[in-house]
Amino acid sequence: MTDGGDRRGWPSKTQFVYDWLKEEILSGSLTPGSRILQQEVAKTLGVSYTPVREAIRKLQATGLITYAPNRGSAVNSLSADALRELYLLRGAVEGLGARLAAEKVTPTALAELSDIHSQMVAVLDGDGDVDAAALASLSKSFHSLIVETGAPLIVFPKAQEIWTHYPVPRSQSLWASTDQARRSIAAHEQILDALISGDGELAGQLMEGHIAESVQFRLRDGS
């Protein structure tokens, strides 16, 4: 684990520990299956056990950390079957959002989606190394806007719950692969075209296919 650094400015010790542990998990410093030892975290960050225990409890509620008797707390590790279930669920939820979005999308929302897509293309085709974190953030905005546009009352909150409880560690992100990133951006363009034409069935199918390809990438990548 990396050094905890300066804690000044954090709203509470529990929040500080929570954010630090979450970053360690998402960055890949703590890999799936890694045990979380309270005493080690407390020593690294210079805090007592209490905020560490509370932060771990909060992370268990999000699904990032699991607890098992006789083993303690560990970074959640999804099996291949669990990943397939997760992405099938994502496909169903986000596919429905895309289908409904085709009926409701406004020129303003289409312009925003087009702008996000253009930004992703610019990041991918820019000079130097591809910024995978920027692409991941923009992709999240693209998917989020589509689902929120189509189904803001029930489906969108469910999608947010899935994204929050099962975030993809950056070390396992498809955006770290230039070839896969290019295919994903092409899929976004097809989805956008379907929304522009008002074809909800096609938009939903394309979204489901896009998410299905994402899980295949993660499984091939050994996640």
User: Does this chain's domain 13-75 share its CATH topology with 80-220?
Assistant: no
In the prediction, which pLDDT does 33 show? 86
Q: How far is the C-alpha of 56 from the C-alpha of 74, rounded, in Å? A: 10
CATH number for the domain whose boundaries are 13-75:
1.10.10.10
Better-scored residue on pLDDT, 98 or 60: 98
In the chain, what are the helix, strand and coil shares in percent, each to the nearest 5? Answer: 70, 5, 25
> What six digits make up the tokens of 59?
């992370």
Q: Where are the domains of the chain?
A: 13-75, 80-220
* DSSP one-letter code for 73: E
| Stated pTM of the model | 0.80
Average confidence (pLDDT) over 30-35: 87
CATH number for the domain whose boundaries are 80-220:
1.20.120.530
Share of the chain above pLDDT 70, in %: 94
CB 61 within 8 A of CB 26: no
Q: How far is the C-alpha of 85 from the C-alpha of 82, rounded, in Å? A: 5
pLDDT digits (tens, 9 = 90+) for 197-218: 999 999 999 999 999 999 999 8
Q: Per-residue confidence at 58, pLDDT binned at 50, 70, 90?
A: very high
CB 43 within 8 A of CB 3: no
